[in-house]
């Protein structure tokens, strides 16, 4: 069952830091991008090329810039695609803590990518936001 109510989504978000380090990459060569689809966490078609979120080792092996190492936080709430406010609440909590974030909304869960150095603190911030919404 999906959750649509703003406060209920935040109260149930249950942020979880997943294993691995992720790299944002852009690939202009569609064939090369498609060859990485099985490795990618996400692949998004953009006018400038294929945006890929790849595991660090895959990105490094293929020569992508790996200077911005990201960690992924999965929000374990089954948020409704029409739910309002979860992304804003997460972004605001992290903004207030001076932590940059990039949100990828998928079918069942939202995923927040944060710089590796800030990942543990980001989890703490999101857990405090969750607790405040209960």
Average pLDDT over residues 21-43: 96
pLDDT reading at 1 higher than 90: no
Q: What is the mean pLDDT of the chain?
A: 96
Entry pTM: 0.93
79 and 60 housed in the same domain: no
Instruction: Assess whether 94 and 119 both reside in one domain.
Output: yes
Domain count across the chain: 2
Distance in angstroms (rounded) separating the CA atoms of residues 117 and 12: 25
In the numeric block, the tokens 């406060």 are attached to 7
Q: Which domain holds residue 15?
A: 1-20+69-134
Do 60 and 7 lie in one domain? The reply is: no
The confidence score (pLDDT) of residue 73 equals 98
Residue 98's pLDDT band, with cuts at 50, 70 and 90, is very high
Confidence of residue 25 (pLDDT cuts 50, 70, 90): very high
């Amino acid at each position: 069952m999906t959750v649509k109510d703003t406060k209920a989504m935040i109260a149930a978000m249950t942020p979880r830091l997943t294993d691995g380090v992720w790299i944002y990459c852009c690939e202009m060569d569609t064939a090369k991008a498609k060859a990485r689809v099985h490795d990618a966490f996400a692949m998004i078609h953009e006018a400038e090329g294929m945006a890929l979120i790849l595991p660090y080792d895959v990105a490094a092996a293929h020569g992508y810039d790996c200077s911005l190492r990201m960690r992924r936080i999965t929000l374990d709430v089954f948020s409704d695609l029409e739910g309002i406010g979860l992304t804003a609440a997460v972004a605001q909590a992290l903004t207030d803590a001076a932590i940059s974030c990039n949100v990828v909304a998928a079918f069942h869960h939202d995923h927040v990518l944060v710089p590796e150095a800030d990942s543990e603190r980001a989890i703490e911030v999101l857990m405090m936001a969750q607790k405040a919404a209960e």
